[in-house]
Amino acid sequence: MLGLLVSTRDEPGVLYRISEAIFKHDANISYIASGAHRDNLAELQLEVTGARDEAKLVADLAVLEDVTEVTRVPTFQRIYGKRVIVIGGGAQVGMVAQGAVSEADRHNIRGERISVDTIPLVGEEQLAQAVRAVARLHRARALVLAGALMGGDITNAVREIRDAGIIVLCTNMAGSVPDAADVVVSDPVEAGVMAVMLIADTAKFSIDMVRGRRF
């Protein structure tokens, strides 16, 4: 996979020309994100697969109209790796994050790449929206829901993102979310540890070993 940082003028049609050039190389854009905007300039972070001649692709992009610079950069997968997302009440989110960060550190030292993202939220609608958004997050692999009571539409959202391939853990709580999650873990610190272990290539641990269980 080729990572590119493309600096351009912030003008209509720039993205079209960039994607057309990549298409002509029989390559595919697997990820795209907008970066900094300043003084009518913009940055695009691209991750491209399938380019037959990466050097030629970079050269062809660099000469496009309104493109000012093209730089090879490491992909987000290489730098930040897989993501664990932690959502819920502030105190429990902090404890889950403590466990996840400590366990991620152990695996990252051994060459893994796992990052941890958190957001404290309350309210059924806000939580359900956040849960559904996890399936749209780049590199997200596991979600931990930490709280005292979750159900209703949050439960529907949990089932939806599980169908999309996201592993869902939750702390032991009231409501219907524990019945929908892959794993229920009473200790929030242990929940963070287990989330990392479930997605780490350097851990001999599989969701198939614990799905449907409570700890």
Q: For the segment 79-101, what is each residue's pLDDT rounded down to a tens digit?
A: 899 999 999 988 999 999 999 99
Q: Bridge partners of 84?
A: 116, 142
**Do 87 and 119 meet the contact criterion of CB atoms below 8 Å apart?**
yes
Contact 4, 72 (CB under 8 A): yes
Q: Give residue 196's pLDDT band: very low, low, confident or very high (50, 70, 90).
A: very high
* pLDDT tens digits along 119-151: 999 999 999 999 999 999 999 999 999 999 999
Closest CA to 152 of 137, 174, 136: 174
| Average predicted confidence (pLDDT) for the chain | 92
pTM, two decimal places: 0.85
Per-residue pLDDT tens over the stretch 16-75: 999 999 999 999 999 998 876 777 888 999 999 999 899 999 999 999 989 999 999 999
Q: Please state, in angstroms and rounded to a whole number, the distance separating the CA atoms of residues 2 and 74.
A: 8
Tell me where in the chain the CATH 3.30.70.260 domain(s) lie: 2-76
For residue 204, the model assigns a pLDDT of 78
Q: Is the pLDDT of residue 6 over 90?
A: yes
- Gap between the Cα atoms of 170 and 178, Å rounded: 6
- For domain 2-76, give the CATH number: 3.30.70.260
CATH of domain 80-210: 3.40.50.10550
Q: Give start-end residues of each CATH 3.40.50.10550 domain in the chain.
A: 80-210
- Confidence (pLDDT) at 134: 96
| Selection from 67, 66, 70, 22 nearest residue 48 by Cα | 22
The reported pLDDT for the residue numbered 37 is: 73
